[in-house]
Amino acid sequence: MAVNLQQDTIVARATPAGRGGVGIIRISGTAAGDIAAALLGRLPKPRYATYSRFRDADGTSLDSGIALWFPGPHSFTGEDVLEIQGHGGAVVIDLLLERITALGARLAEPGEFSKRAFLNDKLDLTQAEAIVDLIDSGSRVAARAAQRSLQGEFSHAVMQLNDRITELRVHVEAAIDFPDEDIDFLSDSGLLERVSVVEKAFSELTRSAREGCLLREGATLVLAGKPNAGKSSLLNALSGYSAAIVTDVPGTTRDVIKEHIDIDGLPLSIIDTAGLRTSADVVEQEGVRRTHEQLRQADLAILVIDVNNPEEAVELIADMPADLQIIKVLNKCDLINRQPGLSEDGSAIYVSALTGAGLGDLRSLLKQRLGYLPSESGSITARRRHLVILAAALSAFQDGRARLAEGSGELMADDLLRSQNALAEITGEFSSDDLLGEIFSNFCIGK
Ligand SMILES: Nc1nc2c(ncn2[C@@H]2O[C@H](COP(=O)(O)OP(=O)(O)OP(=O)(O)O)[C@@H](O)[C@H]2O)c(=O)[nH]1
Ligand SMILES: [Mg+2]
């Protein structure tokens, strides 16, 4: 493997700042061996846990603990790496960091170890991104999804798609190279079949990337409706505790109230708002203004309607942003003795915030509308960056398909290549310094 050695040797604490049983310091780079020799008195046996004193310049002990020596390229970064595990106190770690920097290392920037791992081909970009996602994951499902991407499942799917496009390109290029053959390669039905296989792969990958993105970033839902429809009751029922005040006085809620919940690992911010009506009360007017503001930023609105006044919905919907996804919830179904769940035409869902009836159906509908339908094999973690690239790659591919219809093999091959080049940005085969800076600066120090 080509190891791309960086000039500097870097050092950072890998465990969080503050008190802890163990404090870990990592050193990576060409000087790591010399630093080990000076700090430990000798180079430890590679990949063995070696108990050692950590010495100051005058030979006295700064601390003692375990040293691990990973000569490159068989290390996380691909460079020579020394890891020392001492006591987890702020001062003792500082003393060690001072000693190690005096021996020639410099303090690492956030994500610099992972960046070196990427530059040395130890990780691709989706795997590096998955490290942060794993550390930051807010639910078990998100942690498992990050783990899958870290194991390379996402990159594997991208590479498979890429291989399929390559096969197609080889076929098209053969048609260009041998125009006089009897067989007309371009009108071959096998070719069209391949095109549709690639398109299917694109849509499957986009679906799982979108879901992975949702799992990481979550979605914002706004509860809106007339006063007394039961918005605050629904917020309380979904969040599982009495977050907002509920009374039978219309206009109870005036402020925006935000709660975080998760549905099968999908993180959601639910926002309760002031009931929509014209009011002379300045406080309520401000509340209503804020409701509209929240609706403009929402991923989805839950329109809460009192089941006894279903006609309210028409006017309310007319007042909402045109491109906003809306779920119509007919609340208080306990009052009319109606079965909870989806309405016959599927356009609304009956629930009772009071008894909790129909909330399971509402949760399922939310998942479905937000595009969160985890597959049996489990989700991967992904980012908006990936979605943007997938869309660009698909668009180039579809340009290619149009060329095929025009019978132009050369132009189609160009478009296919363009599509592949776009895909390469996901795994980082092609990546700009700006992008790398943006990705790795979001890491923690020491990772
Ligand atoms: N029977 C019944 N009553 C409900 C249900 N949901 C809410 N209510 C009652 O309806 C009244 C209004 O409920 P809230 O949750 O405060 O309604 P809101 O939409 O937040 O009202 P504002 O904050 O004033 O806009 C309260 O008396 C609730 O107990 C329900 O499912 N069934
Ligand atoms: Mg309320």
Mark whether 366 and 225 lie in a shared domain: yes
Question: Is the same domain home to 207 and 222?
Answer: no
Ligand sitting nearest the alpha carbon of 276: 1
Q: What is the mean pLDDT of the chain?
A: 91
116 in Cβ contact with 79 (< 8 Å): yes
Indicate the helix (H) or strand (E) that contains 298.
none
Q: Over pLDDT 90: what percentage of the chain?
A: 74
Q: Which two tokens stand for residue 335?
A: 């009052």
Q: What pLDDT score does 1 carry?
A: 40
Q: Residues 231, 313: one domain? A: yes
Q: Ligand 2: distance of its center to the CA of 372 in Å?
A: 28
> Measuring CA to CA, which residue among 221, 245, 241 is closest to residue 304?
221
Residue 206 shares a structural domain with residue 181 = yes
Q: How much distance in Å is there from the Cα of 313 to the middle of ligand 2? A: 17
Is the residue at 157 inside a domain? yes
Check residue 2 and give its pLDDT: 42
Nearest CA-CA partner of 366 in 219, 250, 246: 219
Output the residue whose Cα is nearest ligand 1's atom 24.
Answer: 251
The answer to whether residues 223 and 360 belong to one domain is yes
Please tell me whether residues 223 and 342 are part of one structural domain: yes
CATH classification of the domain holding 230: 3.40.50.300
Amino acid sitting at position 438:
E
pTM beyond 0.75: the answer is yes
What secondary structure does DSSP assign to 247-295, as a single string?
-SSTT---S-EEEEEEETTEEEEEEE-------S-HHHHHHHHHHHHHH
CA of 343 relative to ligand 1 center, distance in Å? 21
Where helices occur in 151-253 by DSSP H, the ranges are 153-177, 189-217, 231-239
CATH number where 180 lies: 1.20.120.430
Is position 186 within any domain? yes
* Residue-level pLDDT at 376: 64
Contact between residue 416 and residue 393 where contact means Cβ atoms under 8 Å apart: no
C-alpha triplet 40, 41, 43: angle, nearest 5°: 75
pLDDT in tens, 359-416: 999 999 999 999 888 776 678 889 889 999 999 999 999 999 998 888 888 899 999 9
Q: Is the same domain home to 361 and 406? A: no
The atom of ligand 1 lying closest to the CA of 275 is 25
375 φ, ψ to 5°?
-80, 165
Query: Phi and psi of 429, rounded to 5°?
Result: -60, -40
On the question of pLDDT at 4 being above 60, the answer is no
Of 345, 370, 395, which residue sits at a domain end?
370
Asked if the model's pLDDT at residue 265 lies above 90, the reply is no
346-370 burial, b for 16+ CB within 10 Å, e for fewer? eebbbbbbbeebbbeebbbbbbeeb
Q: Is 233 left (phi over 0), alpha (psi -120 to 50) or beta?
A: alpha
Atom in ligand 1 nearest the alpha carbon of residue 274:
25
- Please tell me the least confidently modeled range out of 84-88, 92-96, 118-122, 142-146: 142-146
Residue 68 and residue 165 in one domain = no
Q: Is residue 340 assigned to a domain?
A: yes
266 and 174 in a common domain? no
Cα–ligand 2 centroid distance for 226 (angstroms): 9
Of residues 137, 134, 170, 167, the one with CA closest to residue 151: 134
Same domain, 316 and 366: yes
Q: What is the pLDDT of residue 89?
A: 92
pLDDT in tens, 380-391: 889 889 999 999
- The count of domains in the chain is 3
Which of 222, 226, 228 for mutating ligand 1's site (highest number of atoms within 8 Å of CB)? 228
Residues enclosing ligand 1, CB less than 6 A? 225, 227-233, 246-248, 250-253, 274-275, 331-332, 334-335, 352-354
Nearest CA to 148 out of 223, 225, 92, 215 is that of 215
